[in-house]
Structure 1
Amino acid sequence: MLPRPHKRTRTRRPAIKRALLVLAAVTTAFTTVMATDASAASSVHYVALGDSYSSGVGSGSYISSSGNCLRSTLAYSQLWANAHSPASYTSVACSGATTTDVLNSQISALSSSTNLVSITIGGNDVGFSSVMQTCVLDSDSTCLSAINASVAQAKSVLPGKLGTTFSAIRSAAPSARVVVMGYPEFYDLGNSWICPGLSTTDRTALNNAADTLDGIIQTAAKNAGDSYADVRSKFSGHELCDFFNEWLHSVNITDVTESYHPTADGQSGGYLPAMDSITG
């Protein structure tokens, strides 16, 4: 009897081919997604406007060419640009800026290609920084009087000024997403009883004034169709009187400029996440 021929084992070429095709498709899709993400990032033209909270006063590392505007490499806008690599990034934010300064000196940085704008503005229009210094240097009654005057001014004139400013930004950069940033509360009132310095009455009034200011800014942003980023929850647990965890400078007589401004940690831990919550 002749021996049976050996049965040939079939190779699994169709299965291997299918696997290779699937792998190629997945690789192509991944590459496309990565390219799309990179393209999206590179298409962002970002301009930061506003006052000292946007320029980065209090965070140090100031850019010498910015002069008295005190723009910092640790400001939230620069940190955002570092993380997201936009096609272009410009900051014209300046210490002490008011809505008038934004209109006269900063709007010109915008163009039809600008598609992302951030801004903090309003505090200097109602003299809020000088109010806080008054509260530190003078009596409770003087402090409360200054706060009440500032709040009254904020309610009466600030909505109109903000409305004009936000409208001008929209006209100069019609395609831009505009992110209006708020201001933090300054004191953790829960620790006020063991915190030296101002009385709890003064601290409560200052916090309430900050809340009023934020409310006015938020309403103006909404009316303009802009996004509002509330930073107060980000600073919770890191306010003045939160010993060793503070993200704000208290009044410093030797360097008044930095008083009540965010530290570098306040910019990176408070303002940057608030910006990211809007932009993704």
Structure 2
Amino acid sequence: MLRRSLLALSVAAVACGAVVLGTSGSAGAAPPASTKGKTYVALGDSYAAGYQLPPPSVATGQPVVGCDQTTGDYPHILAAQLGLKLTDVTCSGATTVDFTNSQDVTGTPDPAPQLDVFKKIQPDLVTITIGGNDLGFTSIAGACAATPPGDSTSRVIGNGKLGAGLLQYATCRDYFSAPTSANGGKADNPYDKLPSVIAKVKAAVAAVQKAAPKAKVAVIAYPAIAPDAKNTPKGGCYTSLKQNADPTSMINPFPSALPFTDTDIPYLQVLQQRLDAGIGQAAQQLGASYADIYPSSLSHSACQPESTRWVEPLTPDDGGLNVLHPNLRGTTAMADALNPVVRQLFAPVAAPTTSSATTEPTTGTSATSGGASAAPLAATGSRTPVGATVLLGTLLLAAGASLLLVGRRARRQH
């Protein structure tokens, strides 16, 4: 969910590593007859667009080059699994506003509103991933990125903007909890914004349903960026850019950095958990289907080793520039979560077992993958997981081994 203009990564820090394309259990099987040839439109942001994925993914140039869409995104994988005819209008940086308005992208003509394309096609199926940019995870991640303890350059970025409100806080939880008068009114508490964001997502899903009443609608939110307590390593997740620095590497001198403090990992985890749960609840209230990727993704967060994680840390180690975004295993996992949901949507209705039996048609039902329905937003008040949608704040990777990470002073807490 990241606009490239918000990413200040040095080209010298392009991540390297072995590319392992996750394989679906149904990837080698022939598409089911119930879905083969169905028209499919994918809507959403960079988590749906496969932002900056490494090879074998390649840029699609769709709907415009500036959308940073790749062939490794979950819509392409799902379409291949189920034999769907895909039109992919997902675009990195999209918010719910961009469903009905032309999105402002960098360096290219702006794409048409996503719903305009959708209306013209009137597809059999639509998938939706949206809401993370409405919450503002670019600003959140920027404020939460922390320098190592004792670093004299430690500072907090006011709402992710370099030079704004440079006040020092031990954690971004403290920063976002501080009175707005103490930081120039820049720190909009993301927890306070959740209800309005969920309302926007619900309105966007309703607009999709209205635009093509016959289309099957499947919603999927975001895989976990931060782990829950059960999946957090004993030593925590905090890894600074300097901690794993390899000055001999010309490709990725700062591998696998996740500079979020032990206090902020659960803070971010709860935030994303509530976002995902609210999105799921909104979809199901409207009778749309919801694929719940969140529970299964907690053991594959950005805190996990490269071999098992689905989301890359602040400095990716998979060969792409997919900062705090899914890797190829992650996009495959998202497709796999949607696969049984879509199959169910198009499954033939069973005939009555006897001539005297009657079968009432089922309407307005909503399927949830993994057997876990999204809990009501009000029921997620405890500080448990979050995995949010993304992103980093203004970051400067200097050539060589030196780095100035603009965040606030990190205080390791064990």
Q: Does TM, normalized by the shorter one, top 0.5?
A: yes
Q: Counterpart in 1 of 2:204?
A: 165
Q: Does 1:122 align with 2:131?
A: yes
SS of corresponding position for 2:126:
strand
Q: Pick from 250, 267, 270: which aligns with 1:208? A: 270
Give, in angstroms, the shift of residue 101 of structure 1. 0.3
Q: Does 1:50 align with 2:89?
A: no
SS of corresponding position for 1:191:
coil
Q: Pick from 177, 188, 193: which aligns with 2:216? A: 177
Maintained 8 Å contact 1:123/1:129 = no
Q: Does 1:108 align with 2:112?
A: no
Maintained 8 Å contact 1:58/1:249 = no
Give, in angstroms, the shift of residue 187 of structure 1. 2.3
Moved over 6 A (4+): none
Maintained 8 Å contact 2:43/2:129 = yes
Letter of the aligned partner of 1:119 in structure 2?
I
Q: Pick from 178, 189, 193: which aligns with 2:235? A: 193
Unaligned runs of 5+ in 1: 1-35
Q: Distance in 2 between matches of 1:199 and 1:93?
A: 32
Q: Counterpart in 2 of 1:258?
A: 322
Maintained 8 Å contact 2:144/2:172 = yes
Q: Distance in 2 between matches of 1:95 and 1:135?
A: 22
Q: Pick from 67, 73, 78: which aligns with 1:75? A: 73
Q: Counterpart in 1 of 2:336?
A: 273
Unaligned runs of 5+ in 2: 1-30, 102-112, 147-155, 157-168, 178-187, 240-258, 344-414
Give, in angstroms, the shift of residue 256 of structure 1. 11
Q: Counterpart in 2 of 1:25?
A: none
Letter of the aligned partner of 1:103 in structure 2?
T
Maintained 8 Å contact 1:185/1:210 = yes
Going from structure 1 to structure 2, the CA distance change for 1:192 and 1:131 (only over 3 Å counts) comes to farther
Going from structure 1 to structure 2, the CA distance change for 1:100 and 1:213 (only over 3 Å counts) comes to same
- CA deviation vs aligned residue, 1:22-45 (integer Å, no higher than 9, x gap): xxxxxxxxxxxxxx954x334511
Letter of the aligned partner of 2:74 in structure 1?
Y
Going from structure 1 to structure 2, the CA distance change for 1:122 and 1:194 (only over 3 Å counts) comes to closer
Give, in angstroms, the shift of residue 279 of structure 1. 1.1
Q: Does 1:246 align with 2:309?
A: yes
* Count of residue pairs brought into register by the alignment: 240
| TM-score computed with the length of structure 2 as normaliser | 0.54
Give, in angstroms, the shift of residue 144 of structure 1. 4.5
Bigger-Rg structure (1/2): 1
Q: Counterpart in 1 of 2:88?
A: 91
Going from structure 1 to structure 2, the CA distance change for 1:236 and 1:159 (only over 3 Å counts) comes to closer
Q: Distance in 1 between matches of 2:66 and 2:89?
A: 12
Letter of the aligned partner of 1:217 in structure 2?
I
Q: Pick from 145, 160, 163: which aligns with 2:175? A: 145
Letter of the aligned partner of 1:232 in structure 2?
Y
Maintained 8 Å contact 1:240/1:247 = yes
Q: Counterpart in 2 of 1:154?
A: 194
SS of corresponding position for 2:235:
helix
Maintained 8 Å contact 1:251/1:259 = yes
| CA RMSD in angstroms, aligned pairs only | 2.5
Q: Which has a greater percent of helix?
A: 1
Q: Distance in 2 between matches of 1:185 and 1:71?
A: 21
Maintained 8 Å contact 2:32/2:82 = no
- CA deviation vs aligned residue, 1:142-165 (integer Å, no higher than 9, x gap): 35434871121122x123312221
Letter of the aligned partner of 1:242 in structure 2?
Q
| TM-score computed with the length of structure 1 as normaliser | 0.78
- CA deviation vs aligned residue, 1:102-142 (integer Å, no higher than 9, x gap): 12210012237412110110110110232012201444433
Maintained 8 Å contact 2:61/2:67 = no
What is the percentage of aligned positions where both structures have the same residue? 29
Q: Distance in 1 between matches of 2:174 and 2:201?
A: 25
